[in-house]
Structure 1
Amino acid sequence: MNIVQALFERQIAKFLDELAPRARSVVKRRYGIGGTSAMTLEAIGTKEGITRERVRQIENDAMKRLRKSPSFVTLASYEKEIGDLIESRGGMISENFLLALPELKNVKDKNSLILFIDLCDSLAKRKADQHFHARWHTKPAPVAGIESSLISFAEDLYRSRKTMSEAEASEKYESHCKKYNLEGITPLTIQAHFLLSKDIEKNVWGEYGHVSSPFVRPRGMRESSFVVLARAHQPLHFREIAHRIEEFAGHPVHIQTVHNELIKDDRFVLVGRGLYALGEWGYEPGFVKDVLVKLLKSNGPMTRDKIVEEVSHLRQVKPSTVFINLQNKKLFKTLEDGAYTLIS
């Protein structure tokens, strides 16, 4: 698409000049044309000294006049090209994604473009709501099917609480599309569809998940620490955890803050000197002597080698540390066969 900035914006400016001064002022303020922010009906009414309802009437009348203007015909080719852009992405596209497309990069005043699209009979806008961003679609687009497919897929992501690769997410989403009879789903379509949803998001590792998942939007140091350990699949020192949080958060992290949060949260287990693991991995909390007491209570007398082996599954400590703790005469004693047991 070759929308030349100067030409397009000059045409829009000339187009708006056909309106009466007050009508032109209302339209420009409503859409934020000319470098200003878009204004509400009430705010414009205050500026113009008229009621909110009167502003609405002026805007509606101005839009009708613009659609019927002979000058609008000169812009018809743009309508087709924008429609083709949207159609190539499944017939529906988020407003932000549409405005960021390279084909429209030469249009400096994007609000002028939004006004133009709003005037196009072949295109329609759906406002942002609970599940979706503001979006545009071609009139024939299967709007209900697209939205239902995305909501259904987002619900699956919410239930799983996990993330998935782009390839896996695409495959899963296509299965939802089939349920709603959507055809012609392409990688370009899927990309555009995902960007419609407020519930589906790609994380910094290129994986898709529900926005409520800590693996997509970790909230605070505790969730960030959980994500780091879950992705590492192994215990890490609290300094390394802080370093990895910095890498994906993109801002400095205080090491002591991370350490404090690890101490406070029962999901994390201290398994060595400064080393933390997730409790769900089977690691036992407490001091080494506490782990030994629990182990011997559950299994009865055990040999030293067997104790070391079992403790290695529960904590990351050296055998010598286990041996030292077994010397606690208030808790443990040695039987005639050399096995260790608890003092009753």
Structure 2
Amino acid sequence: MEQKFEALNQIIDILNDKEQEVIIKRYGFDDGYPKTLQFVGENMYITRERVRQIQKKALQILRRVAMQTDTKEIVEIAEEIIKDNNHVITEKKLIELLKLRGYESHSIPSFRLCLDLSEKVETIKKTQHHNKGYILKDIIKSETAKDTIKKAIEELKREKASICKNKFENNIFEQVNNTPKESILSILELSTDIKQLENKIGLKNWRCVNPKSIKDKSILILNSMKKPLHFKDIFDLIHEKKYDHKQVTIEAVHNELIRYEDFVLVGRGLYALKDWGYKPGTVKDVIREILKEKGPLNKKEIVKEVLKKRDVQVGTISLNLQKTPEFLRVGRAIYKLDEK
């Protein structure tokens, strides 16, 4: 494969010095990092518009030659990855997949350039609302992709909450024309305003999909797992999910769970969400609430009801029944609440 990259370098040599400098800087052949028009212009003492013109002319020259040489294989590899990603992909994801295939960082600028030379691929430029990406234009048009993103944002604003990915995909498919259903979620990865989780999708500025604090992250994790978790497990999942680059300690996580009423201690170190119907309190408090609501119950029924609300040992429930004077035994293993 190295000979393919060398062939591309030889093609670049046919450009004049100014064209070569623009291509090298714009695609990151010098240090791996593509430079902006503004940066290149300032370095070459020309306007950003002049840089754009030089780049456009250089690409026209390279396009005529590249597809007739070994560099065509570089283009085909990148096009295949885009096709496998439902015909659209962000540049970030493309680079990740190329590296997974064993391509070194120094080869990435060659792929960037070859994609701009491809007649099958259209580049989506990075803007405030779009990530840089690539689409196979025979399947999806850039305007169609942008319209899909616009409708998705409008739909999310109407929902006002994160929504199941599959349901959302179906909703958007009904609203757009000429967009393959399997490409919708990949298209939405191009949006800087939309955030996708494992099963949910929402707007990036919503804390329910893009958590900022330890509290937000803990709520998101508990909702995704749909069951009470030990504070150590919540800590581990915060690190595993890598929501951001902030470092947190297990003590900080535990303190936040204790601090906020959103979380209810339901067992030794186990926390659930108050929104799930859990109420704060000890096992004694839970038994009191059950007997107040349901009246006299036998011990087996009390245990069953308590275990719906707390993850504790049966012995702990029995001990609370025996040692608490307000729980009156009124029959064989039957208890009622002493209203006095």
| C-alpha contact 2:329 2:336 (8 A) present in aligned 1 | yes
Q: Which of 280, 284, 289 lines up with 2:275 in the alignment?
A: 280
Q: Which residue, 120, 129, 133 being the options, matches 1:135?
A: 133
Match of 2:162 in 1: 161
Q: 1:279 to 1:66 in 2, by over 3 A?
A: closer
Q: In structure 2, do the counterparts of structure 1 residues 21 and 259 end up closer, same or farther at CA, with 3 Å as the change threshold?
A: same
Alignment check: 8 A CA contact 2:209 2:220 kept: no
User: Which of the numbers 183, 187, 195 marks the counterpart of 1:193?
Assistant: 187
Match of 1:44 in 2: 40
How many Å apart are 1:135 and its aligned residue? 1.9
Is the alpha carbon distance of 1:232 and 1:192 closer, same or farther for their aligned partners in structure 2, counting shifts above 3 Å?
Answer: closer
AA partner of residue 6 (structure 1) = Q
**TM-fit CA distance, 1:282:** 2.3
| Distance in 2 between residues matched to 1:106 and 1:243, nearest whole Å | 32
Q: Answer with 1 or 2: which has the greater Rg.
A: 1
CA distance in 2, matches of 1:116, 1:97: 17
List per-residue Cα deviations over 1:66-97 (Å, max 9, x = no partner): 51466456359569847964567655432334
Q: Secondary structure in 2 aligned to 1:38?
A: coil
Aligned: 1:96 with 2:87: no
Provide the rounded CA distance (Å) in 2 between the counterparts of 1:316 and 1:88: 46
Greater Cα shift, 94-103 or 274-283: 94-103
Q: CA deviation at 1:264?
A: 0.9
Cα separation, partners in 2 of 1:131 and 1:279, compared to 1, 3 Å: same
What secondary structure, in the 3-state scheme, does the structure 1 residue paired with 2:338 have? strand
How do residues 184-263 of structure 1 correspond to structure 2 at under 5 angstroms?
A: 185-186=181-182, 189=183, 192-193=186-187, 195-198=189-192, 199-203=194-198, 207-210=199-202, 212=204, 218-243=211-236, 245=238, 254-263=249-258
Instruction: Give 1:22's aligned residue.
Output: 18
Q: Compared with structure 1, are the counterparts of its residues 185 and 327 closer, same or farther at alpha carbon in structure 2 (3 Å cutoff)?
A: closer
SS at match of 1:323: helix
Report the Cα distance in structure 2 between the residues aligned to 1:98 and 1:338, rounded to whole angstroms.
65
Count of residue correspondences? 321
C-alpha displacement of 1:326? 3.3
Other structure's SS at 2:43 match: helix
**Aligned: 1:13 with 2:14:** no
Structure-2 change in CA distance of 1:98 and 1:242 (3 Å): closer
Partner of 2:49: 56
Secondary structure at the counterpart of residue 179 of structure 1: coil
Q: Equivalents in 1 of 2:76, 2:149: separation in Å? A: 26
Structure 1 stretches of 4+ moved >6 Å: 250-253, 332-335
**Separation in 1 of the partners of 2:96 and 2:235?**
35
- Root mean square deviation, CA, Å: 4.5
1:263: Cα distance to partner? 0.6
Question: Please, which of 36, 42, 67 is the counterpart of residue 60 of structure 2?
Answer: 67
Give % identity: 25
* Equivalent position amino acid for 2:219 in 1: F
Which residue in 2 is equivalent to 1:146?
145
Residue deviations 1:217-247, cap 9 Å, x none?
5544334433444455444443454455556
Q: Which residue of 2 aligns with 1:268?
A: 263
Distance 1:249 1:58 in 2: 38
Instruction: Give the match's secondary structure for 1:277.
Output: strand
1:182 aligned residue: 178
Distance verdict in 2 for CA 1:74–1:172, change over 3 Å: same
Contact kept? 2:122, 2:134, Cα under 8 Å: yes
Residues 171-224 of structure 1 deviation map (CA, whole Å, 9 limit, x = unaligned): 7525533432336555xx467435434424343xxx453365778655443344
CA, structure 1 residues 68+224, in 2 after alignment: closer, same or farther (shift >3 Å)? closer
**Retained in 1: the 8 A contact 2:162–2:209?**
no
* Contact 1:283 1:313 survives alignment (8 Å): no
- Aligned in 2, Cα 1:173/1:15: closer, same or farther, shift over 3 Å? same
Q: Aligned in 2, Cα 1:308/1:34: closer, same or farther, shift over 3 Å?
A: same
